[in-house]
Structure 1
């Protein structure tokens, strides 16, 4: 069975984006934090995206390695992003590219099917998609890179849940700029 990992950069008050889908609060990540995310992405066999995150990632990373001044890690991230199989969940777009396939039907049924397959870890991104997987009890690990900023509202990382989810802390790490990473595994 595959492991499903939900991880993102977020504000200290728990938001992925500020009001108006503003991600300006995060600024460019430190080289150390970017490398941590790259290492995580390289360990994934499959990436699952909601529509908004897909549109953000696919607008930059297909050619991210060709941008002026791209670091070695950014070049590798772009190459890895293109090479990693992706599944995009959306009922409002009609095609995807870059080694991705589109699922327009029941996201929870498809994620459950993918988890049951043999293979390496899968990452999930996008608040709505991850929230649905969270409510269905499908998330195995949470990776939270909390930035020292409060934005007061926006898109929350966590969704409202019907039941408690018990977690085990598996890693903590501090990055330059006061970013604190915490990783938790879901107790089963």
Structure 2
């Protein structure tokens, strides 16, 4: 069975985006950018909700061709294009860059994908991840916490019906007071 991880940048007060979908507070250091790039490099399949897909696909397919692109950005763009992806959306009409579109039942499809063969899966996007959380499908939570309080916006966690017990498996400190905590779900 494939492992499913939910990992995002998060504010100290628990948000992945500030009001108005503002992500300006989460600009990564070079070291943190490399961490995310390396994670993309080992992801067997990425699951995206519509909004995150729109944000990523509006920039990364051609980011390596932009004037002034750094070697790290060139590497990330290549890794992102090559990584197999599934977009879950009832309004998106077409996808590209090694991506498949799913318009049907999210939980059923994620369950099917987890049961299949392949490398680890990452899930991104608040609404999509919330559905997977409520269904008990997430095996690992990766929170990269930035030292900022944004006061509202899009929360990392959704309301849950039951407790989820976690085991801390990794911590790491990045420049500017950013801290990675990685937890596995105890089953």
TM tier, shorter chain? over 0.9
Q: Tell me what 1:100 maps to.
A: 99
Which residue number in structure 2 is paired with residue 159 of structure 1? 158
Matches within 5 A, 1:107-146: 107-146=106-145
- The answer on 1:68 being equivalent to 2:88 is no
Q: How many residues align?
A: 187
What TM-score comes out, normalization by structure 2 length? Answer: 0.98
Alignment deviations for residues 4-51 of structure 1 (CA, whole Å, 9 cap, x no partner) = 010001111010111111111123x11111111111111111110000
Distance in 1, matches of 2:31 and 2:24, equals 19
Please provide the CA RMSD for this pair: 0.7
Post-superposition offset of 1:185: 0.5
Take 1:59 and 1:160, find their aligned partners in 2: how far apart are those partners? 30
Q: Secondary structure at the match of 2:86?
A: strand
Residue in structure 2 matched with residue 22 of structure 1 by the alignment: 22
The match for 1:6 is 6
Q: Which stretches of structure 1, 4 residues or more, deviate above 4 A after TM superposition? A: none
CA distance in 1, matches of 2:154, 2:171: 24
1:56 is matched with which residue? 55
Gaps of 5+ in 1: none
Distance in 2, matches of 1:139 and 1:120, equals: 15
Instruction: Give unpaired runs (5+ residues) of structure 2.
Output: none
Q: Distance in 2 between matches of 1:9 and 1:68?
A: 26
Q: Which residue in the other structure is 2:34 paired with?
A: 35
Instruction: Give the secondary-structure state (helix, strand or coil) at the position aligned to 1:169.
Output: strand
Deviation at 1:158, TM superposition (A): 0.4
Q: Per-residue CA shift, 1:74-129, capped at 9, x if unaligned?
A: 11110011111110000011111111111000010000000000111011000000
